Structure formats: structure tokens, C-alpha cells
């Protein structure tokens, strides 16, 4: 495993603990009767290249938190507290900011689905689609270094629960450089889905770094 992957492995562990582990507590978030239209199910299944049953199942869990509507930070904090009373409010807020890729202050179902797929046993192609749904803030279909650094800062804040230091920022910049060195095959300053698929296929430990 490359050393730079290990450098940020603690971020991955903490981030996934706060952001994703609660998403799969089925008994807590499963809600009978939650429905998603067939057309929306078909669209999301095609977009994320997953089966329709997975879309429906995740919608039921999302419905358990959101009650059928996009949920805000207050709803998210209430949900996490019900799962784990000891969860840090600052960590929960940072996790929310990562999930809220649109930056509009609420988590929509497609944002929930993208986050949930990062912890599912999915193929490399499905995983890459989920990564892009979260990291690709401007939606241009490729990752810029600023977008990768943004995700790194959010994860670091969630792990530290405190403002970032100059040392933290330097480590994040180095991490982003190493991610691009591993994934940006043509060195054009952008990571495409194809490049990330090739990088993950060559070195699966990249999942821990991302």
C-alpha cells in the first residue's frame, strides 16, 4: 500500500464512521410505505449504474430520516444523535457539508444515494460514479485539484473537530498532489472517470485514500 494512502487512512475511518455507518442501520431508518416513482428509480439506476432494487431500498432508508423530503442539518443532527448520543456536533456538521454537494443546505435523495454507494460492495465503475457525485462540485465531469483539496479539508475537519492549522493544510495539499500523481494519467490537471477507474483497478487501496 502506498505511503500516502496510509497518511489519510485515519480520515477515511473517521469520516466513514460519522458519515456512512449510520446510513446502514436498517432497523433505525427503514420505513414501510416510502415510495419513489418508477421513472425516478429508472433514471437514478441508469445514472449510478445500479439495479433498481438498490435505489428503492436506499430511498426507504433516506425516507426514514427525511420523511419524504430533503432534510436539513437540524434533521441530520437529530438523526445522528438518535443513533449515537456521543457523536460530535462539529463532526456531524462537517459530514453534512460533504454530503451536501450542491451547497444548498439540504440533502436530497440523489446526494444520499451517492454517499451510501461509497460504503456498498459496488464495482469500481459504480464507486467512481459515487465519488464524482460527491467530489465533482462544479459538475463538469472531471475532478480538479481544488475539488479534491476541498474534500480533504472537510474530512480533516471532521476528524479533528477543530479549525485546520497551516500544517494540516500543507498535508492536505500534499495528499491532493499524490492523488493526482496516481490518477491523472495524462498530467493535464484533471482526473476523468476513466482515469480514476484505471487507477482504482491498478491499486484498489486508492479507495482508502478517497
- Total number of domains in the chain: 1
d(Cα 127, Cα 114) in Å, to the nearest integer? 9
Q: What is the pTM of this model?
A: 0.54
- CATH at 177: 1.10.238.10
d(Cα 19, Cα 112) in Å, to the nearest integer? 10
Ordered per-residue pLDDT tens for the chain, 210 residues:
444 443 444 344 444 444 444 443 433 444 444 578 899 999 998 888 888 988 888 888 777 766 667 888 888 887 777 665 666 677 677 678 777 877 788 888 888 888 777 665 667 887 888 788 778 878 888 999 998 988 888 777 656 656 888 998 999 999 999 999 999 999 999 999 999 999 988 888 887 777
SS3 label, residue 106: strand
Q: Using alpha carbons only, what angle is made at residue 29 by residues 25 and 156, rounded to the nearest 5 degrees?
A: 60
Range of the domain at 149: 3-209
Q: Using alpha carbons only, what angle is made at residue 83 by residues 96 and 44, rounded to the nearest 5 degrees?
A: 50
Amino acid at each position: 500500500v502506498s505511503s500516502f494512502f496510509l497518511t489519510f487512512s485515519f480520515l477515511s475511518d473517521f469520516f466513514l464512521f460519522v458519515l456512512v455507518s449510520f446510513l446502514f442501520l436498517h432497523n433505525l431508518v427503514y420505513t414501510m410505505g416510502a415510495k419513489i416513482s418508477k421513472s425516478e428509480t429508472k433514471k437514478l439506476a441508469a445514472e449510478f449504474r445500479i439495479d433498481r432494487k438498490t435505489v428503492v431500498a436506499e430511498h426507504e432508508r433516506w425516507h426514514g430520516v427525511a420523511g419524504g423530503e430533503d432534510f436539513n442539518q437540524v434533521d441530520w443532527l437529530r438523526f445522528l444523535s438518535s443513533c449515537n448520543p456521543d457523536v460530535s456536533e462539529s463532526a456531524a456538521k462537517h459530514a453534512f457539508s460533504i454530503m451536501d454537494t450542491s451547497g444548498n443546505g439540504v440533502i436530497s435523495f440523489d446526494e444520499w444515494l451517492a454517499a451510501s454507494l461509497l460504503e456498498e460492495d459496488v464495482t469500481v465503475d459504480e464507486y467512481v460514479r459515487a465519488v464524482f457525485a460527491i467530489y465533482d462540485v462544479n459538475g463538469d465531469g472531471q475532478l480538479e485539484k481544488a475539488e479534491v483539496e476541498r474534500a480533504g479539508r472537510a474530512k480533516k475537519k471532521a476528524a479533528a473537530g477543530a479549525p485546520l492549522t497551516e500544517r494540516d493544510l500543507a498535508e492536505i495539499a500534499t495528499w491532493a498532489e499524490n492523488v493526482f500523481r496516481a490518477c491523472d494519467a495524462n498530467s493535464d490537471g484533471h482526473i476523468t472517470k476513466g482515469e480514476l477507474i484505471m487507477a482504482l483497478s491498478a491499486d484498489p487501496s486508492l479507495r482508502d485514500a478517497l
